[in-house]
Chain A
Amino acid sequence: MNKIYLDNAATTFVRREVADKMLSYFTDCYGNASSVYSTGRDAKKAIEDARRQVAKALNCQAAEVFFTSGGTESDNWAIKGAALANADKGKHIISSTIEHHAVLHTLEFLQKQGYEVTYVKVDEFGMVDPEDVRSAIREDTVLITIMAANNEIGTIQPISEIGRIARERKVLFHTDAVQAIGAIPVDVEEMGVDLLSLSAHKFYGPKGVGALYVRKGVRLEPLMHGGAQERGRRAGTENVPGIIGLGAAIEIAALKQKENAARIAALRDDLQQSILENIPEVRLNGHPVNRLPNNLNISVKYIEGEALLLMLDLAGIAGSSGSACTSGSLDPSHVLLAIGLPHEIAHGSLRLTLSEDTTREEIDEVKRVLPQIVQRLREMSPLYEKENHHVH
């Protein structure tokens, strides 16, 4: 059975040409980039090429790009680093209720260290109101951190507007753009951000490597102390193959962004329409228009997400859910609760995220299989029966 992989918000495959480029940096050009001999110098040069590729994709200077181990480190560094470096100015941070855990848990950590955090609410579509951010700003606010696009429901935030407000009020602005790269245009000038996190494995690059954009002049304490790598701001021997992969992947992602977005969104829209038309009592989560082109998040009433995922897996389809039963912590997704879903509806959520390799045939197969699975699980559900759907 051919597997249909629709969990690309979790991670993507690595593009063949990206993997090929990385290979020689494991086996041939393996020198330590800090060394003076030629294989080290070659590695160093390749890293600087990758840095330029990232800078070009983000519309910034190469000197403003710092390589990290991924989105989580970038988020941690941006937030803790800015909070620590600016503690003399104040200890107040503004964020939203739907951030990734890499942001939320970092903020919770800072709260324990005496920082104060205001979490602005989102509307039913998961959208932050920039005016809420404006009114949350205080004398002692040192950082605003709002994600560019949400990983669960795909809602794209009004980053440029928030950026203007941040600049007006002279507050640092960080955005977690992990889901945004390759999916929507990302331009640090346009967005008005001072700090931006990204991660290679979300845009057909390797896992374990990411970057943080740090606008020139922004004060940031390092998270990693040690050697002088990354101009003394992020110690640790560079992950050379990973960085090469990230550079190659972001270059292609930026080039193909427009074309990919249009094609993927068309397939997604077709799947969405079919589901909403053919399966009763399904709710679309996230913004109907301002949403990542590959994201489809629905809540299926009366059924539980993990059971739905298992059934889909038996049919060869991989997706994800914000259900409490899949979370380990047994709490439903904080994002789904933040957009106002009651527990039992959040429980029946399903997220399908497409890739640039997703085919029409695959989408047709999901359209065929999903209604049957939903019907099966509903027939097992005591909630379905209660709402007077007659089944025996």
Chain B
Amino acid sequence: MYTDKVMDHFSNPRNIGSLENPSGVGEVGNARCGDIMKIYIKVENNIITDARFKTFGCGAAIATSSMATEMVKGKTLEEALNLTNKVVTEALGGLPNEKLHCSVLAEEAIHAAIADYREKQKSS
């Protein structure tokens, strides 16, 4: 049911784990199935230099976390905010319909991490 690309990112996920002193952290939950995704980012000069994730979820959720963290690295915050779940899903060669909501989780987690970073910037 999953593409080879999804299975590749599922069985060899990139960027698992957390970051020491992250610039921003975003944690979101999936209301539909109860899964959770947490993304850590490091930001230097408005560019995401590193990203890590932790996911409690299905194969699609793990694969999209992996792909999304790969894709935001090296991007400006604005570019990263424009990274939709559709783009991430396409990069994975597609997902089964009932798994599309899992990819939304990755998009939301990145947005949350950037919002957290901007929040911290303001207060410092």
Q: List residues of A whose CB falls within 8 A of some B CB.
A: 302-304, 306-307, 310-311, 314, 323-326, 328, 330, 332, 343-344, 347, 379-383, 385, 391-392
Measured in the bound complex, the distance between the Cα atoms of B117 and A127 in whole Å is: 51
Q: List residues of B whose CB falls within 8 A of some A CB.
A: 2, 7, 10-11, 13, 16-18, 27, 32-38, 54-59, 61-62, 98, 101-102
Give the interface SS of chain A, mostly helix, strand, loop or mixed.
helix
Measured in the bound complex, the distance between the Cα atoms of B26 and A340 in whole Å is: 31
11 further A-B pairs in the complex, CB-CB below 8 A; given A306-B59, A311-B11? A304-B57, A304-B58, A325-B61, A330-B32, A330-B33, A330-B101, A332-B34, A344-B56, A382-B54, A382-B55, A391-B17
B18 touches A385 (CB 8 A): yes
Q: How far is the CB of A206 from chain B (nearest CB, A)?
A: 26
List 22 contacting pairs A-B, 8 Å CB cutoff, sorted by A.
A304-B61, A306-B58, A307-B59, A311-B11, A314-B11, A325-B33, A325-B35, A325-B58, A325-B61, A326-B58, A343-B34, A347-B33, A347-B34, A380-B13, A380-B54, A380-B55, A380-B62, A382-B27, A382-B56, A383-B56, A392-B17, A392-B18
Closest to B35 in A: A304
Measured in the bound complex, the distance between the Cα atoms of B33 and A307 in whole Å is: 14
Measured in the bound complex, the distance between the Cα atoms of B62 and A379 in whole Å is: 12
Measured in the bound complex, the distance between the Cα atoms of B37 and A379 in whole Å is: 13
Measured in the bound complex, the distance between the Cα atoms of B61 and A38 in whole Å is: 60
Closest to B34 in A: A343
Measured in the bound complex, the distance between the Cα atoms of B11 and A302 in whole Å is: 18
Q: How far is the CB of B11 from chain A (nearest CB, A)?
A: 6
A310 touches B10 (CB 8 A): yes
Closest to A378 in B: B56
A328 touches B56 (CB 8 A): no
Closest to A328 in B: B98
Contacts of A324 in B (CB 8 A): 33-34
Measured in the bound complex, the distance between the Cα atoms of B38 and A129 in whole Å is: 43
